[in-house]
């Protein structure tokens, strides 16, 4: 199975700050990497697919980059409504696997 | 509007069985692969199983292989998960999720239900 790691596991930032989360795969997954946002008590929501493509309707302050084994997710200007846990997910191989999540809070 | 509504989650004893259902609407159900993804309380996401749009292909996580069976009834726009030999570690919120690709096995999710809670406890 492909193992996904994320860092940091949690972070606290101020409104307007730039926030960056990294995700690393245990083997080359090309760009078969997605990012989801999960707000407390809610189902996950797809934000970024194929490493860098913004899902329809998702604000442009969210972005993703990377390929191979190393990926980055960025919120360019953190907003209060961005409080959530963010997960990366690889779909290069079954089983689909998720990173452990990064919890983002407002300072 | 796409809607996925799970049901069937209850408290069950270890070794017991349970069948989860997911009622789908707002899209052409028989064009899409469907998945079950679970989340243990306070933990991350774990993919459980998928079934192709025509039911011809199914895949399972190793943790549930041989114990869980995924199925679908396209005439009823419904997805199911038969869960046997349940263990305490199966305790989780179970989400059904729609695959993003029409008539392909692409393995990621553009719509999720709100989940149904399965608790395995004596």
pLDDT tens-digit series, residues B19-31 = 999 999 999 999 9
Give the pLDDT confidence score for residue B106 in this predicted structure: 85
| pLDDT over 90 (residue B37) | yes
Q: Each residue of A46-85: pLDDT tens digit?
A: 999 999 999 999 999 999 999 999 999 999 999 999 999 9
Q: ∠ at Cα A11 (A6, A14), nearest 5°? A: 140
CB contact under 8 A, B107 and A87: no
Distances (CA, A) of B83 to A20, A37, A99, B55, B98: 39, 28, 25, 18, 20
Pairwise CA distance, residues A2 & B61, whole Å: 12
| Dihedral sign computed on CA atoms, order A10, A11, A12, A13 | negative
The rounded Cα B34 to chain-centroid distance in angstroms is: 8
pLDDT tier for residue B78 given thresholds of 50, 70 and 90: very high
> Which residue among A44, A89, A96 places its CB closest to the CB of B112?
A44
Alpha-carbon torsion, ordered B111, B116, B117, B122, to 10 deg = -140
| pLDDT over 90 (residue B84) | yes
Pairwise CA distance, residues B34 & B7, whole Å: 16
Pairs across A and B, CB distance < 8 A: 50
Contacts of B102 (CB under 8 A, 6+ apart): B31, B32, B53
The reply to whether B36 touches chain A by the CB within 8 Å rule is no
Furthest-apart CA atoms within chain A: distance in Å? 38
Residues of B in contact with A36 (CB under 8 A): 45, 109
Give the pLDDT confidence score for residue B108 in this predicted structure: 86
pLDDT tier for residue B109 given thresholds of 50, 70 and 90: very high
**Residue B76, phi then psi, degrees to nearest 5:** -110, 5
Q: ∠ at Cα B72 (B114, A1), nearest 5°? A: 70
- Please state whether beta strands B116-120 and B11-12 pair in parallel, antiparallel, or not at all (unpaired): parallel
Alpha-carbon torsion, ordered B9, B119, A90, A4, to 10 deg = 170
Mean confidence (pLDDT) of chain B = 97
CB contact under 8 A, B108 and A45: no
Pairwise CA distance, residues B94 & B52, whole Å: 19
CB contact under 8 A, A87 and B44: yes
Residue A23 tokens read as 């995700």
What's the full length of chain B, in residues? Answer: 122
> Which residue among B95, B107, B115 places its CB closest to the CB of A96?
B107
Distance from CA of B93 to the nearest CA of A (A): 10
| pLDDT over 90 (residue B105) | no
Q: Each residue of A8-25: pLDDT tens digit?
A: 999 999 999 999 999 999
> Which residue among B44, B62, B115 places its CB closest to the CB of A101?
B44
CB contact under 8 A, B108 and A55: no
């Amino acid at each position: 199975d492909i193992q996904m790691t994320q860092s940091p596991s949690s972070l606290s930032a101020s409104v307007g700050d730039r926030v960056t989360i990294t995700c690393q795969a245990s083997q080359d997954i090309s760009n078969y990497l997605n990012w989801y946002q999960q707000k407390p008590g809610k189902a996950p929501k797809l934000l970024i697919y194929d490493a860098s493509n913004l899902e329809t309707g998702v604000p442009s302050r969210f972005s993703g980059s990377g390929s191979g084994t190393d990926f980055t997710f960025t919120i360019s200007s953190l907003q209060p409504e961005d409080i959530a846990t963010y997960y990366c997910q690889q779909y290069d191989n079954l089983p689909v696997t998720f990173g452990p999540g990064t919890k983002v809070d407002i300072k | 509007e796409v809607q996925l509504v799970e049901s069937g989650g209850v408290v069950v004893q270890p070794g017991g069985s349970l069948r989860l259902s997911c009622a789908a609407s707002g899209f052409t159900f028989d064009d899409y692969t469907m998945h079950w993804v679970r989340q243990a309380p306070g933990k991350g996401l774990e993919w459980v199983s998928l079934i192709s749009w025509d039911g011809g292909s199914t895949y399972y996580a190793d943790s549930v292989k041989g114990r869980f069976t995924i199925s679908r009834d396209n005439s009823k726009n419904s997805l199911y998960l038969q869960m046997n030999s349940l263990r305490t570690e199966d305790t989780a919120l179970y989400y059904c999720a729609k695959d993003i690709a029409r008539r392909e096995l692409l393995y990621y999710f553009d719509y999720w239900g709100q989940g149904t809670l399965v608790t395995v406890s004596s």
